[in-house]
């Protein structure tokens, strides 16, 4: 049996970022990652309901409406 990880036991990184959805709407998101994400890079991330990153991948291009908002 695997016990769920508690935030008090977590060793990693906390991020608070402005994120964009596929329609270009922005919002603030706080999440935790056990791996350090590179600064000034773009990532597509999947965050669980407990605010831990379950998966991520680096992206090179964004949809045009998201690219425009990210550059503002």
Contact 13, 33 (CB under 8 A): yes
pTM score, whole prediction: 0.63
Task: Work out the average pLDDT over 40-48.
Answer: 83
Read off the pLDDT of residues 49-67 as tens digits, 9 standing for 90 and up: 888 888 888 888 766 656 5
The predicted pLDDT at position 2 comes to 41
Residues listed for the chain: 72
Gap between the Cα atoms of 45 and 55, Å rounded: 6
Q: Give the count of beta carbons closer than 10 Å to the beta carbon of residue 56.
A: 15
The predicted pLDDT at position 59 comes to 82
- 70 pLDDT exceeds 70? no
H or E, element range at 17: strand 13-20
Within 21-62, strands assigned E span 26-33, 43-47, 53-58
């Amino acid at each position: 049996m695997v016990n769920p990880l508690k935030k008090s036991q977590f060793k990693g990184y906390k991020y608070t970022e402005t994120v964009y959805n596929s329609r270009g709407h922005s919002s603030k998101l706080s999440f935790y990652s056990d791996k350090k994400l590179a600064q000034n890079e773009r990532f597509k991330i999947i965050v669980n309901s407990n605010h831990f990153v379950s998966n991520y991948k680096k992206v090179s291009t964004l949809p045009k409406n998201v690219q425009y908002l990210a550059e503002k």
